[in-house]
Structure 1
Amino acid sequence: MNKILILLLSLISFSILSQTTYEINGFSKKYKGELTIENGFEDDVFKKGEISIYDINKNIITIKSEEFTFELTSDGNIETDIVELPYGKQSIIIYQDFNFDGKKDLAVMDGQFSCYHGPSFQVYLETGEGLKHSPEFTRLAQEYCGMFQIDYESETINAMTKSGCCWHQFSEFKVEENKPIPVKIIERSFSPDGLTEDYVEKNRKDDTLVETKYSYLAEEIDIIEVYSMNFENGKKMSVFRAFAFEDYLFYVFTDIDSKIELLFKDEFIYNKIENTLTFINKNVDYKVDSGGILVKTSKREVYLKAKDIGENVTLSSLSELKLKNLSTK
């Protein structure tokens, strides 16, 4: 029996001695931390272990994880309060004021559960009775890409998430009753053909998020402008080709902020004698001439007179183009 007891004590002692323990000090005058990494994980990128937070000598938080990440300072201490966004380095402990009440709060890494196997955190708000776990702030540090960003000047919190190269979501929050409330959400994606950047924007009005949609021509598209016009109200029309769609002609009409009001890419007709470009979109006739655009419906017609014409572009150059969606007569 004594031999078995001695063996068990030896195994326990060996297990304790084989662990690597770091004290985490300096991030707070009130709290300190202790990180223990299990034997065999010291040199791994993702380390298995346990982190504890102490108030004086009392253990108030303990988190176990299969995937801690951290870096050491030049003097061998664990770095804290590092938040490089959106995809940069984020430290194992972040001690900052998250809810703008003037008291520093605590975020403790619990693994790599945010988007694309990024760092995730459990968040605790400082109260009159000590740290209190916040499910709402924790959600922001779990369901988005890493830790959220704090803007103390505007008292807003920003979080971002994505899916692949072509969908991003940017969310802005205000804090009400110690909870982050979304006030603005912008989703950005690309059209299937990659021609436009498409946005869905939601802004809080009273207790409702009001949605608007708009698009821009994708910046990545290389455009060859064939003809263009500017208007007094700041709007612009452009007839163009794109290297990615070199056999096709496009027409785009944008507002003063370059948001697309009309993008057309179906059938065009160029009239050599009149020097006009015409097309039909949803039972509306459009005729582009050297001075503006005639827009005609079954009930009325409007002529949009151009303020000026783009430099080094001529409508007559259409007669020289052989494109799949352009007919000449």
Structure 2
Amino acid sequence: MINTTTLYRSLSALILLGPLCFGQYRFAIEDASRKYNAEVTVEECQADACRNNAAIILFSKNGEKLQTLASGDFVMYFEKEAKPSSTSVTTLTHGMVHDDPVVFGDFNFDGTEDVAIRNGSGGNYGSASFDVYVFNSTKKQFVLSKELTEIASSYQGMFDVDSKRKRLTTYARSGASLHYTYEYQVIPNKGLDLVYEKISDFSDEKTKVTVREKINNKWIVKKLSK
């Protein structure tokens, strides 16, 4: 089921923010992508975190402004206490923040870089949630992907990308005992297909593991114990 609340919030932010008039804190991201740089302008910053409305401007590596995206609930936590400035641009270096708020990668395996933008903490147990934009080669711009946004907003943070197997992996849990792993395959021009599930149950002395894998469009179930 598509998380319509997340999508509505994202689209509303894009409409309402318009020209950025609230931003006081600016951050440059220059080492997260082979092709793009980004500048984040966010409304509210303290020593340990920045949050609230934000605009994310994407640039080519030669400085050409390409596109502006928006987040209505941007969140960025610093690894160590920082002193963000309201009068100058702060460069975000590797390791300065955890749960990177702007993530680049080829999420749909079409050979072009895409981008995910932190938009709240709507994931499993309050984990990070992201709006995911894929690059549309025809429009020459990033467009919101409903399916990728759904799996980046419903599990435990941003999904992992396996470029060799062309799969996206997500995680979740229910209490302390049940841990879940899901793998999605990207099918060109069709969307996502759930092809693997693993449930680990730690409630007893012996861990019980149930694995379901789709092979030739049929689910194969294995039960293991450790």
Q: Same fold (TM over 0.5)?
A: yes
| Alignment partner, residue 115 of structure 1 | 124
Distance in 2 (alpha carbons) for counterparts of 1:195 and 1:26:
45
| Alignment partner, residue 76 of structure 2 | 68
Q: Which amino acid aligns with 1:48?
A: N
Q: SS where residue 116 of structure 1 aligns? A: helix
Match of 1:185 among 156, 176, 197: 197
Q: Which amino acid aligns with 2:91?
A: N
| Alignment partner, residue 32 of structure 1 | 38
Determine if contact 1:68/1:110 at 8 Å carries over to the other structure: no
| Alignment partner, residue 91 of structure 2 | 77
Structure with the larger RCO, 1 or 2 (CA within 8 Å, 6+ apart): 2
1:157 aligns with 2:157: no
Which of 147-156 and 55-64 deviates more? 55-64
Q: Which amino acid aligns with 2:177?
A: C
Per-residue deviation, residues 200-251 of structure 1 (Å, max 9, x unmatched) = 222113444x25252414xxxxxxxxxxxxxxxxxxxxxxxxxxxxxxxxxx
Distance in 2 (alpha carbons) for counterparts of 1:162 and 1:32:
33
The root-mean-square deviation of aligned C-alpha atoms, in Å, is 3.0
Which of 100-109 and 172-181 deviates more? 172-181
| Alignment partner, residue 47 of structure 1 | 51
Determine if contact 1:95/1:105 at 8 Å carries over to the other structure: yes
Aligned pairs for 1:236-255 within 5 A: none
Q: SS where residue 150 of structure 2 aligns? A: helix
1:202 aligns with 2:202: no
Identity of aligned residues (%): 22
Aligned pairs for 1:1-329 within 5 A: 19-28=24-33, 29-30=35-36, 32-38=38-44, 41-45=45-49, 47-54=51-58, 56-57=64-65, 59-65=67-73, 67-70=75-78, 76-79=90-93, 89-128=98-137, 129=139, 130-177=141-188, 179-191=191-203, 194-208=204-218, 210=219, 212-217=221-226
Change (3 A) 1:166 1:70: same
Change (3 A) 1:167 1:19: same
Q: Which amino acid aligns with 2:26?
A: T
Runs of at least 5 residues in structure 2 that lack an aligned partner in the other structure: 1-20, 83-88
Change (3 A) 1:37 1:195: same
Distance in 1 (alpha carbons) for counterparts of 2:46 and 2:179:
35
**Size of the alignment, in residue pairs?**
189
Distance in 2 (alpha carbons) for counterparts of 1:59 and 1:18:
17
Q: Which amino acid aligns with 1:184?
A: Y
Q: SS where residue 180 of structure 1 aligns? A: strand
The 4+ residue runs of structure 1 with deviation greater than 6 A are: none
Per-residue deviation, residues 105-151 of structure 1 (Å, max 9, x unmatched) = 10111122222322211101111112111111111211111111111
| Alignment partner, residue 302 of structure 1 | none
Q: SS where residue 69 of structure 1 aligns? A: strand
Q: Which amino acid aligns with 2:200?
A: R
Q: SS where residue 91 of structure 2 aligns? A: coil
Runs of at least 5 residues in structure 1 that lack an aligned partner in the other structure: 1-15, 83-87, 218-329
Distance in 2 (alpha carbons) for counterparts of 1:159 and 1:51:
27
Q: Which has the larger radius of gyration?
A: 1
How far off its partner does 1:190 sit? 3.3
TM-score normalised by L of structure 1: 0.50
How far off its partner does 1:172 sit? 1.4
Per-residue deviation, residues 158-190 of structure 1 (Å, max 9, x unmatched) = 111112221011111211025231111111113
Change (3 A) 1:70 1:92: farther
Per-residue deviation, residues 254-278 of structure 1 (Å, max 9, x unmatched) = xxxxxxxxxxxxxxxxxxxxxxxxx
Change (3 A) 1:76 1:31: closer
